[in-house]
C-alpha cells in the first residue's frame, strides 16, 4: 500500500511539473516582439575601452584640472550608506554588464577616462600614502572592491617595473631630549 501511494505521488509530481512548464511555455507574454531594445544612457555606458595613453593625456589636461584641482580624485568623493556609520567594506563593483549599476559610483568608475594601469603613475601616486608609502585602504578612498584590486595590481606592476618608487620621508630627531643630562661637578 505504501509503495502504491509513493508511486502515485511521484506520478502526480511529474505530471504537475510537466503541466507547469507547458503552461509557462504557452502563457509567457511576448514583450520583446516588435520592440526595440532599451537604449543605454551614454553617461553610464562603460563598454568602450579607453587606451592608457588617452588617460595619461587626460590627467595632464585642463578638464582634469577643472574637475579635481590639485586634490586626489578620491578626496571629494563621499559614499552613500544607511545609518550613521559607514560599512567597513565598500561595494563589490559599480559596473555590471558594462553599465554603471549604482547612483553613486566610486571615483574610478564614475570617470571613464581614469584608467588604472602601471604606466599611469600620476593616478597611482594619489592612492599611495605620502607618510608610509603604503597603498591607501578602499574604505578611505571609496573605491569599489573590484577597482581596488585592479589598483593593487597596477601599483605592484609599477613598483616591479620601476615606473613608481616609494620614498618615505626621512625625519631628523633630536635624541638629546630623551637622554638624561649628567651633572658635571
pLDDT score for 28 = 46
Q: Is residue 43 part of a domain?
A: no
pLDDT at 115: 94
More confident residue, 59 or 40: 59
Question: Comparing C-alpha atoms, which of 59, 74, 84, 82 is closest to residue 148?
Answer: 74
Coarse DSSP helix, strand, coil percentages of the chain, rounded to the nearest 5 percent = 40, 5, 55
Cβ(182)–Cβ(139) below 8 Å: no
Domain-embedded: residue 177: no
* pTM across the whole model: 0.69
CA 65, chain centre distance (Å): 23
Does residue 18 belong to any structural domain of this protein? no
Q: Is residue 141 part of a domain?
A: yes
Of the candidates 157, 164, 159, which has an alpha carbon nearest to the alpha carbon of residue 121? Answer: 164
Percent of residues, the chain, with pLDDT higher than 90: 45
Q: Is residue 180 part of a domain?
A: no
Q: Are 74 and 107 in contact (CB under 8 A)?
A: yes
Q: Tell whether 147 is covered by a domain.
A: yes
Amino acid at each position: 500500500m505504501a509503495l502504491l501511494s509513493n508511486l502515485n505521488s511521484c506520478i502526480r509530481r511529474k505530471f504537475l511539473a510537466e503541466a507547469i512548464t507547458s503552461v509557462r511555455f504557452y502563457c509567457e507574454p511576448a514583450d520583446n516582439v516588435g520592440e526595440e531594445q532599451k537604449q543605454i544612457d551614454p553617461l553610464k555606458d562603460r563598454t568602450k575601452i579607453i587606451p592608457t595613453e588617452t588617460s595619461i593625456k587626460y590627467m595632464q589636461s585642463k578638464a582634469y584640472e577643472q574637475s579635481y584641482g590639485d586634490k586626489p580624485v578620491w578626496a571629494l568623493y563621499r559614499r552613500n550608506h544607511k545609518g550613521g556609520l559607514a560599512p567597513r567594506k565598500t561595494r563589490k563593483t559599480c559596473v555590471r554588464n558594462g553599465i554603471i549599476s549604482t547612483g553613486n559610483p566610486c571615483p574610478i568608475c564614475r570617470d571613464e577616462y581614469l584608467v588604472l594601469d602601471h604606466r599611469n603613475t600620476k593616478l597611482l601616486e594619489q592612492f599611495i600614502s605620502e607618510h608610509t608609502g603604503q597603498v591607501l585602504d578602499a574604505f578611505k578612498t571609496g573605491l569599489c572592491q573590484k577597482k581596488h584590486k585592479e589598483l593593487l595590481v597596477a601599483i605592484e606592476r609599477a613598483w616591479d617595473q620601476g615606473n613608481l618608487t616609494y620614498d618615505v620621508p626621512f625625519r631628523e630627531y633630536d635624541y638629546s631630549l630623551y637622554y638624561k643630562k649628567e651633572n658635571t661637578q
